[in-house]
Amino acid sequence: MSNHNMTDFTKVGQEVSEQEIVLSKTYRLLALSFLPCALGAVVGMFFNPFVMISNYWVAIIAFFGFFYGMCFLIEKNRYSHIGAILLMVFTFGMGLMLSPLLAYASMVDGGKLVAVAAVMTATIFFAMAAMARRANINTHALGSFLGIGGIVIMIGVIANLFLQLPVLSLTLAGLFVIFSSAVIMWQVRTVIEGGEDSHISAALTIFISLYNLFSSLLRILIAIAGDD
């Protein structure tokens, strides 16, 4: 019997491109990375990492030092298992640093705000990932736009470290929601087009985007709840 018309529904043959394999590995590693992140958040709820650092600027320097230092190390090991392990350490630390915001949100409205922010984050992620597959996107142009947008947002973040204006903080949170959503779509599309061949690097970018997306949405929801 001829099998020329049979479809490989298992997609284990040549139908699966290298880009699809990288994307699949990216999603698996991304899902795994949220386990240490959640653990870090739980640990931070009982052991606030910022209590031991009384100086505001020391805490800020420690945060940025950890963030950029770990990103650098992960990118240096983006093709090895060491990079994946470092990513788990990074996500644990980021979960630890997210715990004060989670604790405050829980005080405002129990765990409802956290749950709503989580659902909104997941919905945006799936929507952006789907759009990356179906939409006609100029990844080069979008990447250039995001690069400029990232610089503008970082200038705003640095300025607000000194000004500490609630209105500016809320504005930055809104910009982060838009920016992070676009980054997710751009990164997924870049993997699909073969512009990114490291699932570790892709997972890192998407994790940071989801982290910023969730925390920004949570801050906005807290502000709205506070106005009620």
Residue 207 sits in which domain range? 18-227
CB atoms within 10 A of CB 149: 15
Q: What residues does 111 pair with on adjacent strands?
A: 109
196 within domain boundaries: yes
Q: What is the 3-state secondary structure (H, E, C) of 79-107?
A: CCHHHHHHHHHHHHHHHHHHHHHHHHHHH
pLDDT attached to residue 1: 39
Q: Is 177 left (phi over 0), alpha (psi -120 to 50) or beta?
A: alpha
Instruction: Give me Rg for the CA atoms of the chain.
Output: 19
Cα–Cα dist 126/88, whole Å: 22
Report yes or no on 4 lying in a domain.
no
Q: How far apart are CA 77 and CA 79, in angstroms?
A: 6
Structure tokens at 9: 């529904």
Q: Do 149 and 179 meet the contact criterion of CB atoms below 8 Å apart?
A: yes
pTM of the model: 0.89
Q: Is residue 13 part of a domain?
A: no
pLDDT in tens, the chain (228 residues): 344 433 333 344 456 789 999 999 999 999 999 999 999 999 988 887 666 677 788 888 989 999 999 999 999 999 999 999 999 999 999 999 999 899 888 888 878 999 999 999 999 999 999 999 887 888 899 999 999 999 999 999 999 999 989 999 999 999 999 999 999 999 999 999 999 999 999 999 999 999 999 999 999 999 998 755
Minimal CA–CA distance to 137: which of 203, 73, 101, 182?
A: 182
C-alpha 217/C-alpha 202 separation (Å) is 22
Q: For residue 2, is it within any domain? A: no
23 domain-assigned: yes
The per-residue pLDDT for 6 is 34
Residue 3 covered by a domain: no
The answer to whether position 83 is within a domain reads yes
pLDDT of residue 56: 80
- Give a yes or no: residue 7 inside a domain: no
Q: How many distinct structural domains can be found in the chain?
A: 1
pLDDT of the residue at 10: 38
Tokens representing residue 67 in the block? 């963030």
Nearest to 173 by CA among 124, 222, 106, 137: 222
| Torsion angle in degrees (nearest 10) through CA of 9, 12, 16, 20 | 100
Residue whose structure tokens are 């788990």? 88
Per-residue confidence (pLDDT) for residue 45, from 0 to 100? 84
